[in-house]
Amino acid sequence: MAQHKVTLIPGDGIGVETSAAMQRVVEASGVDIVWDVAPAGAACVETHGTPLPRETIESVRRTKVAIKGPVATPVGTGFRSVNVALRKELDLYACLRPVQSLPGAGGRYDDVDLVIVRENSEDLYAGVEFEEGSEGARRLIELCEEEGAGSIRPDSGISIKSISVTASERIVRHAFEYALEHGRKKVTAAHKANIMKHSDGLFLRVARDVAKEYEGRVAFDERIMDACCMNLVMDPTQFDVIVFPNLYGDLASDLAAGLVGGLGLAPGANVGEEYAVFEAVHGSAPDIAGQNKANPTAQIMSAAMMLDHLGEVDAAARIRRAVCAVYAEGAHLTGDIRRASGSAGAPATCTEFTEALVAALD
């Protein structure tokens, strides 16, 4: 049996609990993994002087595969997001978030089966910003006036939205290649090209061009972002693979997670040409951290994606089957799912859920 080396970044808050649960299930599935545990997050600022130590990035460069828990990012001030930094450092340009109904999980629908493909490297998330009142902001405002691009109030903070041909082309191609590889029939491009002609307009133009290369193999359609949100809420079954620029993809991921039972269920992967980092969509949930209340399903399903990536498809399938069995049985559901589904009974702890899952492995 092959042995795999994987970097494990437990992260902050419930990440510590969900990572331990994920390790327990992966090990119980029989896959041989050597975990290189690496730090990142708020606690690292005190111990390492940075939320993303060099040694953590070096570990992922060595192993090429990582699974991480969520990392808290202070709102408005403090360090920039560790997630954004990691994606940049390792050029993890594609974010994949499969959204599937799990019978018994309390979703709004029981037949959702779509995949969100989110561009990960640019757009408003690139972190190119000018503070209100700064010299940079003043000069930029002046330039916009001079160029006739439009007027910006002098007391504005500015975040730049940039979308390139290079990044759009590779993410749309990634979406089509994913569709081909996974037997998916259609790729939808979501945009606001009607308003942002030079950024979203470019994304849409590139998407249409790339789509031509796949004509006859994978269908293509396009949707204005606001309509896409409404369509997702009213009838998610009309979607198969949806490709988004960065910010819309982030928002749509949580929206879509809400359709199938919430954040506790939504797995994800950040991938590039060389490296892959798997992680749940949810954050560090400080409101329930350290209380053994977290739902580890999202991280366990992220691990199943990781096992597919490592070629351990049989173990991945067994873990997915066990997750389905535990939800279908309904005796060990965590509090978030009990609330979402309105099901009676005491909520299971993270540990109880995990042990039920291990017992359900075939």
Binding site for ligand NAD (CB under 6 A): 14, 18, 70-73, 83, 263-264, 279, 282-288, 294-295, 298, 336
How far apart are the C-alpha atoms of 316 and 91, rounded to whole Å?
Answer: 26
What's the min distance (Å) between Cβ of 230 and ligand NAD?
23
Q: Is 88 a catalytic residue?
A: no
How far apart are the C-alpha atoms of 14 and 199, rounded to whole Å?
Answer: 36
What's the min distance (Å) between Cβ of 345 and ligand NAD?
16
Which strands form 3-9's sheet, in the order they lie side by side? 32-37, 3-9, 65-68, 276-279, 269-271, 94-100, 113-119, 241-244, 186-191, 219-224
Q: Is 32 a catalytic residue?
A: no
Q: Considering 12, 240, 250, 336, which one is annotated as catalytic?
A: 250
What's the min distance (Å) between Cβ of 289 and ligand NAD?
8
Q: Considering 68, 88, 123, 125, which one is annotated as catalytic?
A: 125
Nearer to ligand NAD, 312 or 336 (CB): 336
Nearer to ligand NAD, 7 or 83 (CB): 83
What's the min distance (Å) between Cβ of 322 and ligand NAD?
18
Closest C-alpha among 266, 236, 256, 245 to residue 195: 245
Q: Considering 32, 221, 226, 314, which one is annotated as catalytic?
A: 226
Q: Considering 36, 192, 248, 327, which one is annotated as catalytic?
A: 192
Nearer to ligand NAD, 33 or 263 (CB): 263
| Distances, alpha carbon 255 to alpha carbons 10, 85, 102, 231, 248, in Å | 25, 24, 16, 11, 10
Half-sphere exposure of 204 (CA within 13 A, CB side): 17
What's the min distance (Å) between Cβ of 282 and ligand NAD?
3
Residue nearest to ligand NAD (CB): 283
Q: Is 275 a catalytic residue?
A: no
How far apart are the C-alpha atoms of 55 and 288, rounded to whole Å?
Answer: 29
Q: Is 186 a catalytic residue?
A: no
Burial of 74 (0-12, 13-18, 19+ CB in 10 A): exposed
How far apart are the C-alpha atoms of 189 and 199, rounded to whole Å?
Answer: 14
- The catalytic site residues sit at 125, 192, 226, 250
